[in-house]
Amino acid sequence: MLYVNKTVYVFMFVKANVNAVLISFLFFMALVPAKAQDTTRTTDKSVAQTIPDTLLFKIQKAQSVITQIKADDKKRYGLTRIRAGLAEVKTNVAPVSADLRAHGKTVEPKNLSNYNLILNDALKKLADWRTILSRTNNDLQGNLDQVLALSTDSLLTVAGNDTTEKKLYSDQLVGLKFQLQDAGTRTSTRLDTVSRLLADVSGTYLTVSSLQTTLNERLQKSTENALQKESPYLWEAPMAVSADNLGLLLKSSYQGQDKILKYFFASTWDNRFLLVMLAVLYFVWVFTNYKKARDPDLQQKIAPFRLENLRPVPIVATLIVLLNLTPLFEPQSPSIYIEITQSLLFLVLTFHLWPKFSTQDRRMWVLTGTMYVLLILTNAIVGDSALMRLGLIALNAGFLYIGIVFTDRLPRQHISTRIVRSVRMFYLLLLGLAIVLNIFGRISLAKTVSITAVIGLIQLTGLSLFMVVVLEALELQIKISAGSTGFFSRLNVSHIRSSFKKGLSVVAIGLWLLVFFINVGIVDVVFNVVFHILTKPRSFGSLAFTLGNVLSFSVIIYLSSLLQKNIGLFFGESQLPTASGSTEHVSSILALVRLVIVIAGVLLAVAASGISIDKFTVVLGALSVGIGLGMQNIVSNFVSGIILIFERPFQIGDYVELADKKGRIRDIGIRASRMITSQGSEVIIPNGDLLSNRLVNWTSSDTYLKTELTLKVSAETDLNTIQNIITHEVDQLDGALKNRPPEIVVTAIGADAVELKVVVWISSIYTEVSLKSQLLQRLLTAFKAASIKLV
């Protein structure tokens, strides 16, 4: 293959040079007076009259070709950039080639995976350059062919004895000949340069392809031999270790990792830039909110607060966010890069947690960091020597002790105990497995498993603090927004906190798994498996689809439903109850916006599902026929069930009131739903009735309830004192709404008594009775202390 390609390009090179020689010869011959030609010329008048028109057309065409060649020559076709990029590719590939082709040298699977990144990127660049150069070569060859055709055109040549009107253009044609000669020479030279560069790029592409084939064979072999013995059993291994050998191993490991890191940093700067920009946005977000919080007017509106992990200048918190999100933006990063970022994260965590640690915890934390550095160094130099392998086993045993003793004392806010226990058991299992693999001669796998376990433990603490600093930043935003009547002042804050925390938990679990896959070296395998599952064609009858289409359909429908439900917040709507007597004015265009969102969401979902529009219209036609034949009630209940599922005016477990029935929703079906009343009976309600009748949901996550109390006090009682006492006691209740003060209304006045109605906002109907009882007890105690007499 290489021989054939080089032969082709040598032929092109020879052809370009032959063309150049031919052009020069033709130009020379055109300038010599044609004395050998027949002096007899036709004197036909019709021919003489057509010559100027045809000649002008030829001159215009030749001038157009010359102009086009000059314009193309100014482009330079990006040859300088391609030549510099080709040199860089050769520099990056050379050490990989040396390592793979070194006789008798065993390359670690981790390095093989990293080398694969380099070769894949090189092949992509070379393929693009080869396409560009091939197209450029064809364009230049076309220009050269046009120049040759114009140069040999007898119409553009004037002989000394020419008697036609063409002789009037002799000066212009001579100048045109010189321009064609110059254009042809430049084009031929540029074609020669492009042909040489194309041959070089093609040869490099074949070399890199051969290297990738060798690398894939090594990877497959290393995967097959992952559990096979690569070193002697521990009791058979030699004890001696050479200092020179250790130095050589350290130097070799450093050089290999250094070239991988340099290449990675140079080729993935765009992802790193986006990551840094996200961290900067987080810093500006927190810094700006802290600056707003210093405003005296705002401080009077918000209660005093203190955040444990955020500072007015959140440098440490920003670094925690940056280092934890690094794997998400660079999933193809080499494992050494993950080791470095986790080491930096450990230093940042040390700075942040040091004041909060006890003396014993500080010792254990420093011991963990020291052993982590020793583990990285030991993994770089450990080999067949029993002494080095015993040192690695000692480090693994030390980390086992840390995992048993110190794990429970590590900060892990907002991470459930079940997840912590699972990670801890997995950590201990991996360390135990690393010791067993080491004893039985599986050194490479033992090193990979041990470093993966330790990084997983460090990452658990880092992700915990990541969730803390992000949630505290959200809490700060909520405080500022509530005090300045911003966007968050219209939201159900408890619901936002809960949803945001769940989303962060999913991100944290994904980041932990991603780092685990990178360290083990199977991130590409996992991505390929997921991609294959989502894109594999499937069929249901005559309908063809993929799981990716189904997922896209579901996500688009969910997002459109969520958007249309909450779009009103941007038009002034609020999820909170309004104060008494106040009215919200919302734009009348809101209903139209919601309708547009729903229609657009359905159309986008259908397009993403892969279902053709004609099949979709057939389904709509079948539904319309069914409705017309008497299925109105069934279809109405069915459609109502779908609307209930997506719109969710209530959920399973909510306490609702419909007509004369009250109870808890037990099940939401496609045609009907079931409700359990307070008496224990089960009521089956068609879904159409749930949508068409007036429904009261007492337990919606976005609904708040009013509960009322009636009090009678003596006419001489100071009403302001009573109001202050009631407001203070309501604030002490856990189930009362903090940002909605109680309403105290005078409902009747007697000769010696005043009747008051107290309205309190609460968050759940289930706590209404207990909250009333607590509030009445508190008020009774407070009234007695203030000498207020109830009538």
Residues 260-283 have pLDDT tens digits of 777 777 777 778 889 999 999 999
pLDDT exceeds 70 at position 5: no
Residue 547 in domain: no
Task: Give the number of other CB atoms < 10 A from CB of residue 547.
Answer: 13
Comparing 242-246, 275-279, 315-319, 370-374, which segment has the lowest mean pLDDT? 242-246
596/602 Cα distance (integer angstroms): 10
The whole-number average pLDDT for the span 546-572 is 79
- Where is pLDDT greater, at 102 or 776? 776
Predicted pLDDT of residue 23: 47
Predicted pLDDT of residue 8: 41
Exposure string over 658-688, b if 16+ CB within 10 A, otherwise e: beeebbbbeebeeebbbbeeeeeeeeebbbb
Residue 550 in domain: no
Same domain, 23 and 144: yes
Residue 728 in domain: yes
Phi, psi of 107 (to 5 degrees): -95, 135
User: What's the structural domain count of the chain?
Assistant: 4
Same domain, 247 and 389: yes
Same domain, 502 and 453: yes
Query: Considering only CA atoms, which of 213, 261, 269 is closest in space to residue 111?
Result: 261
Same domain, 282 and 187: no
485/339 Cα distance (integer angstroms): 45
Residue 542 in domain: no
Residue 393 in domain: yes
Residue 274 in domain: yes
> Given 680, 697, 714, which residue is the final one in a domain?
697
pLDDT tens for each residue of 651-705: 777 778 887 777 888 777 667 888 888 777 888 888 787 777 777 777 765 556 7
Measure CA 563 to chain center.
21
pLDDT tens for each residue of 307-349: 888 888 899 999 999 999 998 888 777 777 888 888 899 999 9
Residue 536 in domain: no
Same domain, 440 and 574: no
Same domain, 214 and 260: no
Range of the domain at 748: 705-785
Predicted pLDDT of residue 583: 39
Same domain, 713 and 625: no
Same domain, 331 and 406: yes
pLDDT exceeds 80 at position 352: yes
Is residue 388 very low, low, confident or very high in pLDDT (cuts 50, 70, 90)?
confident
pLDDT tens for each residue of 402-412: 888 877 776 66
637/699 Cα distance (integer angstroms): 24
Predicted pLDDT of residue 322: 93
Same domain, 676 and 774: no
Same domain, 112 and 250: no
pTM score? 0.60
pLDDT tens for each residue of 39-54: 344 444 444 444 566 7
Residue percentage of the chain with pLDDT more than 70: 71
- Where is pLDDT greater, at 587 or 724? 724
pLDDT exceeds 60 at position 649: yes
Same domain, 68 and 116: yes
Residue 669 in domain: yes
> Given 169, 200, 224, which residue is the final one in a domain?
224
What average pLDDT does the chain have?
Answer: 75
Comparing 66-75, 367-376, 481-490, which segment has the lowest mean pLDDT? 481-490
> Given 531, 548, 575, which residue is the final one in a domain?
531
Same domain, 298 and 246: yes
pLDDT tens for each residue of 737-750: 766 778 888 888 87
pLDDT exceeds 90 at position 490: no
